[in-house]
Structure 1
Amino acid sequence: MQTFSSEEMGALTRAVLNHMDEWKISADEMLAILQLGEEVRPRHLQQYRQGDKTFPQTTEMMNRIDHIVGIADALRTTFPFSSQMRVMWLSKPHRRFQRRHPLAVMLDEGDDGLMRVRIEVDCAYGYAINDALHAAAEEKKAAAA
């Protein structure tokens, strides 16, 4: 895992919160997606926005950050001229999520939900995951033979 300086981590923290602000989700929803812990309250997010605190550099948090940034980038690519469409996509029922909206998938399923939403909106990421799964299956088959 790459280690970031405190300045870099501060910039990354603010960028992630900015992405989530653009999604027009509540502070409680942000905390649920970020899984910062029970001790972090919605009012504490301001300290993260101001740079007084940064997200922890754990493997789990860095994976969440990667997915959030990936989702935000893919939405910006899919809907380059309309931030309203990006917000609408996140809050509209989707057939691949059993008529649940992508935000609900992220909230209900945690890290797996973040990955499912990212795969849906970011086809390049979906292809990479699919290729990795096929390669792992081939390795397992070769090892068994």
Structure 2
Amino acid sequence: MAQAALQEYGFVDPTTKENRSKLAKMIMRLFEHWDIPVADQLELLGQSPKSRNLLGKYRKGEPLPAGRDSMDRVGYLLSIHSSLQTLFPENPNLVYKWPHVRNQAFAGRTPLEVMKEEGHLGLIKVAWHLQTRLSR
């Protein structure tokens, strides 16, 4: 799913610096649209809370790390966004607020809480929830 999301956005080869640079800018814009606090951005990317300066570099186009964990996390985040755009094409406001809305599918937690509390598995859980909704 993560690799499919990267391919959907035209990043067939996320190992190139150029593509990872584009991904960095894209994911930073997504975090802005989702209104994700800085500490949570770092957590979602699997980075240390002490790595705040990385986010500024990513906004300027510094390439994301080439490691699988980083690319999977970005792929799941993009998959979540893509699914939300498909589910709510007429409501971009909901697409951007959805990560902050309590959801019964997550025992009343917000998708953002699930992703933060459960880390990589939380990203997968949220992405799969949306994929399941799309396949109905």
* 1:65 aligns to 2:74 (yes or no): yes
Distance 2:109 2:45 in 1: 20
Q: What 5-or-longer segments of structure 1 have no aligned partner?
A: 128-145
What CA deviation, in whole Å up to 9, does each residue of 1:57-87 have, x standing for no partner? Answer: 1011111011001001011111113222123
Structure 1 runs, 4 residues or longer, greater than 4 Å off: 124-127
> Structure 1 residues 3, 86: closer, same or farther in 2, change over 3 A?
closer
What CA deviation, in whole Å up to 9, does each residue of 1:12-49 have, x standing for no partner? Answer: 111111122211111111111101234411x4312111
Distance 2:89 2:14 in 1: 31
Q: What 5-or-longer segments of structure 2 have no aligned partner?
A: 4-12
1:102 — aligned with what?
111
Distance 1:23 1:5 in 2: 27
CA contact (8 A) 1:94 1:100 kept: yes
1:15 — aligned with what?
26
Q: TM-score, normalised by structure 2?
A: 0.81
CA contact (8 A) 1:118 1:125 kept: no
Percent identity between matched residues is: 25
Distance 1:32 1:57 in 2: 17
Distance 1:102 1:38 in 2: 20
CA contact (8 A) 2:43 2:49 kept: no
Q: TM-score, normalised by structure 1?
A: 0.76
> Structure 1 residues 80, 125: closer, same or farther in 2, change over 3 A?
closer
1:77 — aligned with what?
86
1:140 — aligned with what?
none
Secondary structure, in 3 states, of the residue corresponding to 2:35? coil
Q: CA RMSD in A?
A: 2.2
